[in-house]
Structure 1
């Protein structure tokens, strides 16, 4: 269960990062509220998962999911550049996250 919660928390990290960008420095109400709610839920999930998963592994997986998710959303939906080196780097992060889970 801790791993499922950790993955969901990583996805929520993606949501709060995108909402933070869309909030325009907290000048837009709706994205600012989405940021606040998803940030709190993401942190609560991370805290729950770390009860059973070592902090180094859990935090790295959480950050990895959030970073890759945010980069993918940026490329797919927000017009950020898409090129082979960026995709390869994201695949390396994914491989690292999988490795941390496998060798846990």
Structure 2
């Protein structure tokens, strides 16, 4: 169950990074709505990470959380923020996914 909580925490990390991107692109009241969504997503992500680390090893949990956030944010950037796509970017995203999955399998919790 804590692995599921950790994955959800990682998805909220992607959400707060996406909100940060929208804050950069907008102005006025729309910017404040995105900033509020950023704060809410950040809070939920951190609370879920804290919950997951109550039973999972902190090093593994933090690495998986960060990995989910990094991969999700990179993919979000490609699809929604027009970040560049090239062989090496895709290669390293796949490598990161492999590392996150590997950490899950070698964890003894």
In 2, the alpha carbon distance for the partners of 1:11 and 1:102 equals 20
Q: What is the TM-score with the length of structure 1 in the denominator?
A: 0.95
Corresponding residue number in structure 2 for 1:7: 7
Q: Is the 8 A contact 1:20 1:26 kept in 2?
A: no
- Give the 3 Å change call, closer, same or farther, for CA 82–26 of structure 1 in structure 2: closer
Residue pairs, 1:1-104, within 5 angstroms: 1-24=1-24, 28-104=31-107
- Which segments of 5 or more consecutive residues in structure 1 lack a partner in the other structure? none
- Give the 3 Å change call, closer, same or farther, for CA 26–5 of structure 1 in structure 2: farther
Structure of higher CA gyration radius: 2
Question: Alignment RMSD, CA only?
Answer: 1.5
Q: Aligned residues, how many?
A: 104
String of CA shifts for 1:58-86, please: whole Å, max 9, x gaps: 00000000000000010011111111110
Q: Is the 8 A contact 1:75 1:81 kept in 2?
A: yes
- Which segments of 5 or more consecutive residues in structure 2 lack a partner in the other structure? none
User: Which 4+ residue blocks in structure 1 deviate beyond 3 angstroms?
Assistant: none
In 2, the alpha carbon distance for the partners of 1:87 and 1:52 equals 33
